[in-house]
Amino acid sequence: MDPEVLRGFLRIGMFVGVCGLVMALVQPRDSAEFVLSVCSALIGGVLILGVVILTRWFARREREQGIEEDEGSGRA
């Protein structure tokens, strides 16, 4: 996956999460807006977590492919 795509999703996640968190601090606790703000903060956090997991998974996969290519070229 293109790193620019992941970087874009990370930025969207940060924007949604931070804005939701700030709005949750401003809204009264017994309002529907508070619930929506908390939900958007959670969605932003899940998006950020997903980007981190995908980034680590792709990095490990590329590293393993590089090791396999190095071992294969050394034997030939």
Domains of the chain: which residue ranges?
3-70
- Going by pLDDT thresholds of 50, 70 and 90, the confidence category of residue 66 is confident
CB 44, CB 16: distance < 8 Å: yes
Cα 8 from Cα 12, distance rounded (Å): 6
Kindly report the pTM of this predicted structure: 0.80
pLDDT digits (tens, 9 = 90+) for 37-59: 999 999 999 999 999 999 999 98
Amino acid identity at 1: M
Q: What percent of the chain has pLDDT over 90?
A: 71
